[in-house]
Amino acid sequence: MSFFHKDELPATEMLPGVLRRAVYLDDVMMTFFDFKPEAVVPRHQHPHQQITWVISGAMEFELDGEVQVLRAGDGALIPPDAPHSAVILDTACQALDAWYPVREDYR
Domain spans, the chain = 25-102
Q: For the segment 21-68, what is each residue's pLDDT rounded down to a tens digit?
A: 999 999 999 999 999 999 999 999 999 999 999 999 999 999 999 999
> 101: Cβ–Cβ under 8 A, 6 or more apart, which residues?
27, 48
Q: 3-state class of 8 per DSSP? A: helix
Q: What is the CATH number of domain 25-102?
A: 2.60.120.10
Q: pLDDT digits over 34-46, tens only?
A: 999 999 999 999 9
pTM (two decimals): 0.94
Of the candidates 85, 56, 61, the one whose C-alpha atom is nearest the C-alpha of residue 71 is 56
